[in-house]
Amino acid sequence: MIGSPALRAGAVLAGVAGATLPFSALAVDAWGGRQAAVSTVLGAALATVLAVGSLVLAVWAHDKPQRVFLAALAAGFLGRLFLFGGGVALLATATDFPVAAFMASLFGYYVLFQILEVRALRRLAAARPAGLP
C-alpha cells in the first residue's frame, strides 16, 4: 500500500503547483493574453500529474524486489511518455492554444518537480533501516 511518505511528497508537489500557478498564469495573461495563460495552466497541470504519479509509483516500488522495482520504473516511464506525447499532440491538433506557452510551462514545472522528487526520494532512502537493500 502507498504510505504516508508518498502522500506527503505528492501533497508538497501539488501544493507547490497550487501556490505558484496563479502567479504564473497572471504573469502570462498580462504578457501573452488569455489563451497563453490557459495554455500555461494546462502545461503545469500535466507536469503536476506526471510528477505526482511518478513519485507515488517510485515510493510504492521503493521496498519491492528489484524485478518489481525495475518493472514499475519502466512502466512509469512509458506511461509518462505516452501522457506527455498525448498531451502535446492533443493541444497542438485539437485546440488553438499557443503551444510555446504550454511547453514552457510543462518543462518549467517538470524541472521544478524533478528537483523536489529527488529530494523526497533521498529523504526516503535516508530514513530506510540499515538492513534493507
Q: Could you report the per-residue pLDDT of 77-103, keeping only the tens digit for each?
A: 999 899 989 989 998 899 899 999 999
Give the range of the structural domain holding residue 107, as residue numbers without chain letter.
4-120
Q: Is the pLDDT of residue 3 over 60?
A: no
Higher pLDDT, 132 or 28: 28
Rounded to an integer, the average pLDDT of 27-56 is: 89
**At what angle are helices 34-61 and 4-32 packed, to 10 degrees?**
170
For residue 73, tell me if it sits in a domain: yes
For residue 129, tell me if it sits in a domain: no
Rounded to an integer, the average pLDDT of 103-132 is: 80
For residue 25, tell me if it sits in a domain: yes
For residue 132, tell me if it sits in a domain: no
For residue 20, tell me if it sits in a domain: yes
Higher pLDDT, 117 or 75: 75
Q: Please tell me the predicted confidence (pLDDT) of residue 17.
A: 85
Using pLDDT thresholds of 50, 70 and 90, give the confidence band for residue 129.
Answer: low
Rounded to an integer, the average pLDDT of 15-41 is: 88
For residue 108, tell me if it sits in a domain: yes
For residue 8, tell me if it sits in a domain: yes
Residue recorded with cell 529530494: 119
DSSP, collapsed to helix, strand or coil, labels residue 60 as helix
Q: Please tell me the predicted confidence (pLDDT) of residue 1.
A: 43
Provide the domain count of the chain: 1
For residue 58, tell me if it sits in a domain: yes
Cβ atoms of 101 and 24 within 8 Å: the answer is no
Q: Please tell me the predicted confidence (pLDDT) of residue 133.
A: 52
DSSP, collapsed to helix, strand or coil, labels residue 102 as helix
User: CA 124 to CA 24: how far, in whole Å?
Assistant: 30
